[in-house]
């Protein structure tokens, strides 16, 4: 065994003794807004609501920092959800997310305007950006918060879940501001937009070097319905006891043609038709699909608890008094097998979903190495 000791001088400078914390901060509360395909990301809007509350508490302004290439049309949306001032950072290198460019641009903006508190949404991008930003700014960071407060001394006190949400811990940041926190999506709730609100616009010029961006995005792969997490899928077909083992294949076939993810009720899992990860209900996943097609599911409250957020629900059941019909937008009274066969025929004739759902074939060579265990489709391996 080789042993040696690390002299203190070899250590890197820790963040508590970092640079740049000398300048005083203003009483602004910022949200780093994430621009997505359909406007501002919902989690960023949730964070704006929290930021507005905090800004009111310290008599400051709720601000949003908007980064992108051509994103000025999104300023209105930020204003509606509470931003009093929008810092607009536009640069060709910010067209798509890269940690290097975004961390540099956001860090420059924060260093220039010195907000007291900066909130991010704990989305995949936010999780990647927040620690790097915190370190470069020497700012204390608390990730995945469910509640954020500033105490009478102006320190940040954040609540965050740990140990698989078994405990919630209060974390107090003792270093001087700026403080950084990322908020967990879906926990704070979206406020009501106020369409009459306007935001003051501040344009921030940043100087970015294309050589500093060290990653290159090759492609963005849309979700494969066969493997996508049920709670993420846009279209879900779910089967219950009424489908039966002999018809399950048919259900999967239709799902493949419609580009839908297959899930099941608890009964379907107990019968071995779907795996544990694809059970919808109180003890399983909860779906937020655009279309939820329930076949042979009566609608017990334990199952319904998982489908409350589905936009459109279509139910097929042979019991005309099944409770799922009370919830469905369209209810079909009929035998699951007959209706499924008829649907399959119609789908085949009209050629819906003729194109094969693109898989990840080019990746198969990468994966085949040590993978010996056959995993049912869509079951993500957890603990070994």
Q: Identify which of residues 162 and 201 has a Cβ nearer to other proteins in the complex.
A: 162
Q: Does 153 bind other proteins (CB under 8 A)?
A: no
Interface stretch with other proteins, choices 85-93, 137-145, 197-205, 267-275 (CB under 8 A): 137-145
Interface stretch with other proteins, choices 24-32, 230-238, 265-273, 298-306 (CB under 8 A): 230-238
Alpha-carbon torsion (290, 295, 299, 303), positive or negative: negative
Residues 6+ apart with CB under 8 A from 68: 35, 74, 89, 90, 94, 95
Dist CA 288 CA 291 (whole Å)? 9
Among 95, 205, 375, 377, binds other proteins (CB under 8 A): 375
Among 53, 91, 132, 197, binds other proteins (CB under 8 A): 132
Q: Does 154 bind other proteins (CB under 8 A)?
A: no
Report the candidate in 99, 90, 85 with the shortest Cα–Cα distance to residue 31: 85
Q: Does 95 bind other proteins (CB under 8 A)?
A: no
Among 217, 301, 358, 361, binds other proteins (CB under 8 A): 217
* Residue-wise burial string across 22-49, b where 16 or more C-beta atoms lie within 10 A, e elsewhere: eeebbebbbbbbbbeeebbbbbbbbbbb
CA separation, residue 128 to residues 92, 103, 124, 148, 214 (Å):
21, 9, 6, 20, 14
How many C-beta neighbours within 10 Å does residue 159 have?
15
Residues 6+ apart with CB under 8 A from 350: none
Q: Give the contact letters, 167-196, x = binds to other proteins (CB under 8 A), - = no.
A: xxxxxxxxx----------xxxxxxxx---
Dist CA 185 CA 380 (whole Å)? 22
Q: How far is the CB of 317 from other proteins (least distance, A)?
A: 10
Q: Give the contact letters, 252-291, x = binds to other proteins (CB under 8 A), - = no.
A: ------x-------------------------------xx
Distance of CA 262 to the CA centre of its chain: 21
Q: Give the contact letters, 298-337, x = binds to other proteins (CB under 8 A), - = no.
A: -----------x-xx-x-x---x----xxxxxxxxxxx--
Q: How far is the CB of 352 from other proteins (least distance, A)?
A: 6
Q: Does 223 bind other proteins (CB under 8 A)?
A: yes
């Amino acid at each position: 065994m080789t042993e040696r000791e690390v002299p203190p001088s070899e250590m890197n400078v820790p963040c508590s003794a970092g640079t740049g914390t000398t300048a005083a901060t203003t009483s602004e509360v910022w949200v780093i807004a994430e621009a997505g395909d359909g406007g501002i990301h919902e989690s960023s809007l949730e964070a704006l609501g929290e930021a507005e509350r905090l800004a009111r508490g310290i008599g400051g302004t709720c601000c949003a920092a908007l980064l992108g290439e051509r994103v000025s049309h999104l300023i209105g949306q930020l204003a509606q959800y509470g931003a009093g001032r929008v810092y607009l950072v536009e640069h060709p290198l910010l067209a798509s997310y890269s940690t290097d460019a975004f961390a540099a641009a956001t860090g420059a903006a924060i260093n220039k305007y010195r907000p007291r508190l900066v909130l991010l949404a704990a989305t995949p991008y936010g999780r990647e950006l927040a620690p790097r930003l915190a370190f470069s700014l020497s700012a204390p960071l608390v990730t995945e918060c469910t509640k954020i407060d500033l105490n009478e001394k102006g320190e940040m006190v954040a609540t965050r879940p740990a140990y698989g949400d078994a405990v919630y811990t209060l974390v107090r940041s003792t270093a001087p501001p700026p403080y950084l926190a990322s908020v967990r999506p879906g926990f704070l709730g979206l406020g009501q937009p106020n369409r009459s609100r306007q935001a003051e616009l501040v344009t921030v010029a940043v100087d970015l070097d294309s050589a500093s961006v060290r990653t290159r995005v090759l492609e963005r792969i849309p979700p494969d319905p066969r493997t996508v997490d049920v709670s993420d899928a846009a279209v879900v077909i779910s089967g219950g006891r009424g489908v039966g083992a002999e018809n399950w294949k048919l259900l999967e076939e239709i799902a493949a043609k419609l580009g839908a993810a297959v899930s099941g009720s608890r009964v379907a899992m107990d019968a071995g038709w779907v795996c544990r990860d694809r059970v919808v209900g109180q003890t399983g996943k909860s779906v937020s699909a655009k279309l939820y097609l329930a076949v042979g599911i009566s609608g017990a409250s334990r199952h319904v608890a998982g489908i409350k957020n589905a936009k459109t629900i279509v139910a097929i059941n042979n019991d005309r008094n099944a409770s799922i019909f009370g919830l469905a937008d369209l209810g079909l009274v009929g035998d699951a097998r007959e209706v499924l066969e008829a649907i399959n025929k119609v789908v085949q004739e009209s050629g819906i979903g003729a194109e094969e759902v693109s898989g990840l074939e080019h990746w198969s060579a990468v994966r085949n190495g040590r993978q010996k265990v056959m995993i049912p489709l869509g079951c993500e391996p957890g603990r070994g």
